[in-house]
Amino acid sequence: MSQKPSLAKGTRDFLPAQARKRQYIFRIIEEEFRNFGFQPLETPAMENLGTLEGKYGEEGDKLLFRILNSGDYLKDLSPDELQTGETQGITRKISEKGLRYDLTVPFARVVSMNRHLIHFPFKRYQIQPVWRADKPQRGRYREFYQCDADVVGSDSLMYEAELIQIYDRVFKKLGVPVQIAINHRSVLEGLAEQAGRPDLFMTMTLIIDKLDKIGAEAVKAELVRAGFEDDRAAWILDLLAGPDAALSEFEFNPRATTGVSALKKVREYASEAGLSNPLEFSPSLARGLSYYTGCILEVIPVGIKMGSLGGGGRYDNLTGVFGMPGVSGVGVSFGADRIYDVMEEQGLFPDGLDTPAQVLVICLDEESHRHGFGLASRLRAAGIRTDIYPEAAKLKKQFKHAEDLSIPFVLIIGEEERKKGLYPLKDQKTGAQSILTEAEIIRQMGMLSE
């Protein structure tokens, strides 16, 4: 009967040490979302396929996890249909639901289904897993968390500044130095227009987005190959690769100037608030351009070789596909897995996240164990994470448990201690030991846990 258990391909367990570190990241992000008045939303893992299909392009549709209908799911299929072996047609008949692929489409569904309940502008955040049937590889999983914050129902550029501030504050709290890059779709459109090929806007955008990877020469060559005049391609490169791409240099035509004005306004708000990390105009930034219609944002770690830790931008028409036109918004997303990797690599997680308790109560005899249980319970009531070894086992064994779990303090109770009400509290790291009353222990441990 016994079987060798395994994880489903591309999925992960988070054991306590990892789970606590992930919680740490999520809590800091969530706290900032809440400080800025964003409201929590939770949607179910399963959506009707009608909600999901056609929203992520043909490739996306292939990456949806589909759920078999329950019961006798074959009953609606005629033998003929079955025999054709035509996968798409059969799928439609045997599967009605799929797993959430991102948090944006469910958000759009919620907004359009609850439009009369929601007060706009609506600021919502959502931190939940999504699933994609991608080929698993290093750093790419089939289940991963997304952390999104969006404001819909207002085109005020103040919200771009709020989201930039949230990035700024979260990464400051996490101790990860970042650069926040910003661009505007109109700047890119103006660039293509001024270079004489407004029709090549998308192509140009995809090419210049590779600037950091392939360098100026290669980008220029690609632009020419795509159909830009040689001198116009050179002009684009001059603008982009200039050592100080100044916003005002991009006021070369009305369309670009629209983008520049928006970016200036965002900057004005941001500087009113004050940022700890640099906000940089990055005219080649073109993240997910098919989706974004205004400002585009990206967060890149400074001094650490790692891709973007988050991104976002302004979009039009979030809910049009669900019959609710004209809802524009702006949103950002945090890449929790990458943030985790950066923090682990740089040793940025605070001490104490790797332990389940601040103190382990160790007892020398059964009577002391009962006494210790009462004491442990009062420490817990005071908010001190406390564990107690389940029996009066050998001292060595109990101390080893404290070491195994990296519990920093050990409190020892024997007959004498319990009679006097004075307990040795041992700092496992330094070996230092103080003899304290219960009240003193609570005070001392409480201070350490702040």
Q: Which of residues 313-352 bind its own copies (CB under 8 A)?
A: 320-323
Q: Cβ of residue 54: shortest distance to its own copies, in angstroms?
A: 9
Bridge partners of residue 40, in order along the sequence:
125
**109 contacts its own copies (rule: CB under 8 A):** yes
Sites for its own copies among residues 230-289 (CB under 8 A): 268-269, 272-274
Q: Kindly tell me which of 232 and 385 has the beta carbon lying closer to its own copies.
A: 385
**161 contacts its own copies (rule: CB under 8 A):** yes
Q: Kindly tell me which of 119 and 394 has the beta carbon lying closer to its own copies.
A: 119
Q: Tokens in use for 305?
A: 């070789």
Q: Tokens in use for 134?
A: 């991608």
Please state whether 342 falls in left (phi above 0), alpha (psi between -120 and 50) or beta. alpha
Binds its own copies by CB under 8 A, chosen from 234, 247, 306, 405: 405
Binds its own copies by CB under 8 A, chosen from 386, 413, 417, 425: 386
Residues 284 and 262: their CA atoms lie apart, in Å, by 17
Binds its own copies by CB under 8 A, chosen from 57, 254, 352, 374: 374
Residues 161 and 407: their CA atoms lie apart, in Å, by 42
Tokens 């650490």, residue located: 304
**57 contacts its own copies (rule: CB under 8 A):** no
Please state whether 54 falls in left (phi above 0), alpha (psi between -120 and 50) or beta. left
Q: Tokens in use for 390?
A: 């389940």
**401 contacts its own copies (rule: CB under 8 A):** yes
**115 contacts its own copies (rule: CB under 8 A):** no
Cite the DSSP H helix spans in 391-431.
395-404, 415-420
Residues 239 and 194: their CA atoms lie apart, in Å, by 12
Stretch that binds its own copies, among 79-87, 216-224, 339-347, 439-447 (CB under 8 A): 79-87
**112 contacts its own copies (rule: CB under 8 A):** yes
Residue 313, CA distances (Å) to 37, 202, 379 in order:
19, 17, 47
Stretch that binds its own copies, among 121-129, 224-232, 235-243, 332-340 (CB under 8 A): 121-129
Closest CA to 337 of 195, 168, 143, 163: 143
Q: Kindly tell me which of 45 and 395 has the beta carbon lying closer to its own copies.
A: 45
**68 contacts its own copies (rule: CB under 8 A):** yes
Secondary structure (3-state) at 107: helix
**47 contacts its own copies (rule: CB under 8 A):** yes
Q: Kindly tell me which of 220 and 418 has the beta carbon lying closer to its own copies.
A: 418
Q: Kindly tell me which of 193 and 387 has the beta carbon lying closer to its own copies.
A: 387
Secondary structure (3-state) at 122: strand
Q: Cβ of residue 362: shortest distance to its own copies, in angstroms?
A: 13
